[in-house]
Amino acid sequence: MSQVRSVNGDILDSLVKQKEIVVCKFFKPGCGACQEFKNVYLNIAREINGPTYVEIDVTKNENISTRYGIQYLPTTKIYFRGGVETFIGNQRENITDSLRLKLSQAGY
């Protein structure tokens, strides 16, 4: 079971360089869709071991939306081998399918 850590942009950048698969949820506390996705994201982290799971509160991190190209919330980004895949909203099935494929490619 993986835990979800709250981080800032600098920590995310560092993790992406250090870890093979990093999953980041960008959210805002007052966002209804973000609240609905919160438990979904936690369940994904519990069910799929291997990736590093983090989240960034865009209200606490100045310019983070511009820095990472976040236009809609929640947005989930999967960083893998120098690439990034973006999911907007609650796309549980697409996120889990992508993670399973990446884990398979990484030899997990």
Mean pLDDT of the chain: 96
Residue 13: in which H helix or E strand, if any? helix 9-18
Name 73's Cβ contacts closer than 8 Å, sequence gap at least 6: 26, 27, 28, 31, 33, 34, 58
Note the pLDDT of residue 60: 93
pTM: 0.95
Instruction: For the chain, give every domain's residue range.
Output: 4-105
Average pLDDT score over residue span 87-104: 98
pLDDT band of residue 1 (cuts 50, 70, 90) is: low
CATH homologous superfamily of 4-105: Glutaredoxin (3.40.30.10)
Residue type, position 92, single letter: R
